[in-house]
Structure 1
Amino acid sequence: MKSSHVVIIFLWVFALPLIMLMIREYLARKKDGTISNNNIFVSAGAGFIGNFCDALGIGSFAVITPILRATKNVDDRVLPGTLNAGCAVSVAIQGTVWMSDIGIETKTLVVTLICSVIGGFLGAFVVTKLDRNKVRVVMGVAFVIVAFILLSKQLGFFPNIGGEANGFHGTKLAAFAVLMGCFAALMNAGIGMYAPAMALCALMGLNLSYAFPLAAGGCCAMMPTAGIRSIVAKAIDIKVAMWMFLGSIPGVLIAALIVKSMPLTVLTWLVIFVLLYTSASMILAAKQNKGAGDHSAATEPSAE
């Protein structure tokens, strides 16, 4: 079996259980009257736009978060879980559409994906325990990092030349896999995985063509894991996540199958400025509410 087939199977093994759990949770919340009254058109539109941009290489969280916050369509406390659950399936679709034969060593691929699963779960476990203000601070800092990565790419500082290695062994493999696991954990806070994966591949001499399958596999291991954990912990707005998921499907397919590529320089600069603004607003909101008795624990029912 080709390594690309391994990754595609891996993507859907994690994505399908999340889809089933989301549908069950959505119907249960709707039946007992505890579902939120957030706007489905805003949610679907955010999923469409964000995942359209993600398929073109900008990232989804960086685009969706400002939309949801500007429209006040989701509580900040449940934002990380909602993003991960709502965008997880689009990564599986991207991987299925674009994955070609990878050529990476099976051992490196498997060990890296396993570490991504572990990192994603541990990161989700931590983030779902945070109160609203801590979520704001963590995501605010994360978005500054994302903006820095995008800025580095725009200014040409981002590493874009990899090596010829098709895998690692021993200590180097352990270091690579652990770092990819850390990237998966940080995705819970809004840091995308593709750009850091490209940088790591370049720095460690791995062929850059392997960055996408590794990142896609890691994302689709981490995001459903984080989404499921968030549903169990009640740290998600299931209505927003469900409609983001539905909106993401045409967004990804149009970008991947019809548009395929487009000039993104101006849009990327816009995303950088929006990210910095969103980061500042989240950190400022956390600072303003610190003394206002906002101690919402992650285990409390969300505003759904």
Structure 2
Amino acid sequence: MTTVLLSLIVIVNLFFVLSFVKDLIKHKSEIMTEPATTLALPFTSFFMFLLSTFGISDFAIGTVLYRKLKWVPLKKLPGTLNAQCVIPVAAMALSYITSIDVGVKTLAVCIISQVIGAYVGPRFVVKLPEKTIKQFVSIGLTVAAVLILAGKFNLIPSNGTATELYGFKLVTAGILLFAYGALNNIGIGSYALTMATVYALGMNPAAAFPIMMGACTFSVPIGSMQFVKFGEYSRKITLFASTFGVLGVLTAVYFVKSLNVDMLQWLVIAVLLYTAISMILEMRKAKMSLVNSVN
């Protein structure tokens, strides 16, 4: 099963690579004329995906960075954020699945559920107010972080050693991962949510990494090929991210594998709080913009 899963990851992402390379060759004279700074791109790509490998959203970092530096026009930002992460996320998935112990059945259920959610879920998600969803998610992440923190100080019982889920817990994980896949479509990343779920279900915190990256490496390439097809992305940024970003991934994977459970728990707490605070600040900024526009 593991071999089949790894083979599917390679095949799915190979389709994207072929599409991307074909597009690069067709537009090779335009690549270096794009506004992103060639000298800075190796460093931004490396550190962005190093942090992403630890669970810090590269979508969030890229959105702030590229808009601030004016490297990508707003119209091409979604395509760039998706296309640039395909190869690095594939490297994450392959590295984590082969190096971190997670039951194949649990891994398969979580990945399939999130991929289905990413494609089927939008028809349900779009009916919900985005603000309400983000409020509940930010509160949920904060509560999860507080509970983990309480466990660290022995205020409540804390476990987190399982590598496989069974019965009700496996069904719960499948349902939640389906929901996270749907939420991706309104800009709510699944990394922190998956970390909270894995911890709450009593799994080893490290198990979140192959689950997170495994799900993303199937859903992201398909959509990214459409951005490549219509040229709605930065070829230059994607090219650098596909090379230097992978180096950042491999560096981070080494540290994740060498961290003990105690350190991973602190990492999970940091990611949950970071994501929750980011959502709260984003909602506050949107509210202030609305007030200013009315005035």
| Fold similarity call, TM over 0.5 | yes
Q: Which residue of 2 aligns with 1:102?
A: 101
Letter in 1 for 2:101: I
CA distance 1:269–1:225, shift in 2 (3 Å): closer
SS at match of 2:237: helix
2:244 is aligned with 1:244: no
- Structure-2 separation of matches of 1:234 and 1:221: 21
Q: Which residue of 1 aligns with 2:282?
A: 279
- C-alpha displacement of 1:88: 2.0
- C-alpha displacement of 1:68: 0.8
- Structure-2 separation of matches of 1:74 and 1:126: 31
- C-alpha displacement of 1:187: 3.3
Q: Which residue of 1 aligns with 2:189?
A: 192
Tell whether the 8 Å contact from 2:145 to 2:272 is kept in structure 1 after alignment: no
Tell whether the 8 Å contact from 1:44 to 1:245 is kept in structure 2 after alignment: no
- C-alpha displacement of 1:217: 0.9
Structure 2 residues without counterparts, runs of 5 or longer: 152-157
- C-alpha displacement of 1:248: 0.5
Tell whether the 8 Å contact from 1:104 to 1:210 is kept in structure 2 after alignment: no
The Cα offsets for residues 68-122 of structure 1, whole Å up to 9 and x where unpaired, read as: 111011123332332122112212222333433635152x433332233333345
Q: Which residue of 2 aligns with 1:180?
A: 177
Instruction: State which drifts further: 219-228 or 206-215.
Output: 206-215
Instruction: Calculate the aligned-residue CA RMSD, in Å.
Output: 4.6
- Structure-1 separation of matches of 2:69 and 2:178: 33
Tell whether the 8 Å contact from 2:115 to 2:181 is kept in structure 1 after alignment: yes
Letter in 2 for 1:252: V
Q: Which residue of 2 aligns with 1:215?
A: 212
CA distance 1:15–1:167, shift in 2 (3 Å): same
Tell whether the 8 Å contact from 1:74 to 1:237 is kept in structure 2 after alignment: yes
Structure showing the higher helix proportion among its residues: 2
Letter in 1 for 2:217: C
Instruction: State which drifts further: 14-23 or 54-63.
Output: 54-63
Give TM-score scaled by structure 1 length.
Answer: 0.67
Tell whether the 8 Å contact from 1:120 to 1:181 is kept in structure 2 after alignment: yes
Equivalent pairs, count: 276
2:70 is aligned with 1:72: yes
- C-alpha displacement of 1:232: 3.8
Tell whether the 8 Å contact from 2:85 to 2:241 is kept in structure 1 after alignment: yes
Among residues 84, 106, 110, which one is paired with 2:82 in the alignment? Answer: 84
CA distance 1:155–1:244, shift in 2 (3 Å): farther
Give TM-score scaled by structure 2 length.
Answer: 0.68
Structure 1 residues without counterparts, runs of 5 or longer: 131-136, 292-304
Letter in 2 for 1:80: P
Tell whether the 8 Å contact from 1:163 to 1:205 is kept in structure 2 after alignment: yes
Among residues 192, 197, 201, which one is paired with 2:198 in the alignment? Answer: 201
Q: Which residue of 2 aligns with 1:294?
A: none
- C-alpha displacement of 1:277: 9.5
Letter in 1 for 2:247: P
